[in-house]
Amino acid sequence: MPHYRQTESIKPGDGSCGGNPECKKPRLEFIPASVLTKDISDEMKQGLTFKVAAASWLRKGQNRKRRPFSPATVAGYGSTLNNLNPLLGEVPLGQITNAKVKDTLEKIAAKPTKSEKPISSKTIEQHFNVIKLVIASIVDMEGEELYHRTWKYDFIFDNISKSKPSQPCFTTKQVESIIRSARGQYAPMYALQAAGGMRWSELLAIKLGVQSEDHTTISKDCKTIFVRQRIYKGKEGPLKTDSAYREVDLCGEMASYLKQFIGSRTAGFLFHTKSGKPLSQRNILRDSMHKILYGQEFKNGQEKIVKTVHGVAPQMKGTRCASHAFRRYRATHLRTSSIPEDIIRFWLGHADQSITDRYSKMKEDVERRKSWADLAGIGFEIPDRKFLDEEIQEVEAEAPTSRTICTRPAGSRMTKIIRGASSQNDQQETCK
For the domain that residue 392 is a member of, what is the CATH number? 1.10.443
| In a shared domain, residues 139 and 181 | no
Q: Write down the pLDDT at residue 316.
A: 72
Split at pLDDT 50, 70, 90, the class of 161 is confident
Do 180 and 150 fall within a single domain?
Answer: no
The chain-wide mean pLDDT, for the chain, equals 79
- Positive or negative torsion for Cα 232, 398, 313, 378: negative
Same domain, 258 and 181: yes
Q: Please, which pLDDT band fits residue 222 given cuts at 50, 70 and 90?
A: very high
Structurally, the chain folds into a number of domains equal to 2
Task: Look at 305 and 340; give whichever has higher pLDDT.
Answer: 340
In the predicted structure, residue 422 carries a pLDDT above the cut 60:
no
Residue 402 lies in a domain: no
Radius of gyration (C-alpha) of the chain in whole angstroms: 25
Is the domain of 41 the same as that of 188?
A: no
- Residue 400 has a pLDDT of 35
* Mean predicted confidence (pLDDT) in 232-252: 91
Helical (H) or strand (E) element with 376:
helix 366-376
Are 220 and 134 part of one and the same domain? no
Kindly state the helix (H) or strand (E) to which residue 172 belongs, with its residue range: helix 172-181
- Domain containing 144 equals 3-156
Residues 202, 127 share a domain: no
- Asked whether residue 412 is assigned to any structural domain, the reply reads no
> Is 421 contained in some domain?
no
Quote the CA–CA distance of 133 and 76 in Å, as a whole number: 14
Q: How far apart are CA 403 and CA 418, in angstroms?
A: 6
What confidence category does residue 18 fall into, taking pLDDT thresholds of 50, 70 and 90? Answer: very low
Q: How far apart are CA 230 and CA 155, in angstroms?
A: 40
DSSP category for residue 392: H
Closest CA to 2 of 40, 38, 26, 36: 36
- Are 220 and 345 in a shared domain? yes
Res 151 pLDDT > 70: yes
What is the pTM assigned to this prediction?
Answer: 0.71
The residue that leads in pLDDT, 302 or 259, is 259
Q: What single-letter amino acid sits at 198?
A: M
Beta strands 206-208 and 216-218, pairing class: parallel
Q: What is the DSSP track for 44-109?
A: HHHH-BHHHHHHHHHHHHHH-SSSPPPHHHHHHHHHHHHHHHHHHTTSBGGG--HHHHHHHHHHHH
- Residue 431 has a pLDDT of 38
Q: What is the amino acid identity at position 264?
A: S
Decide if 32 is inside a domain.
yes
Residue 358 identity = R
Confidence band (pLDDT; 50, 70, 90) for 208? very high
Statement: residue 322 has pLDDT above 60? yes
Q: How far apart are CA 334 and CA 346, in angstroms?
A: 12
CA dihedral of 308, 312, 316, 317, whole degrees rounded to 10: -20
Q: In whole angstroms, what is the distance from residue 400 CA to residue 420 CA?
A: 10
d(CA 182, CA 178): 6
Q: What is the pLDDT of residue 298?
A: 76
Give domain status of residue 45, yes or no.
yes
Residue 59 lies in a domain: yes
Residue 404 lies in a domain: no
Residue 379 has pLDDT above 90, yes or no: yes
- Whether the pLDDT of residue 428 is over 80: the answer is no
What pLDDT score does 357 carry? 78
Residue 268, helix vs strand vs coil: strand
Is residue 61 situated within a structural domain?
A: yes
Amino acid letter, residue 398: E
Q: pLDDT tens across 51-73, in order? A: 999 999 999 999 988 888 888 88
Q: Do 152 and 179 belong to one domain?
A: no
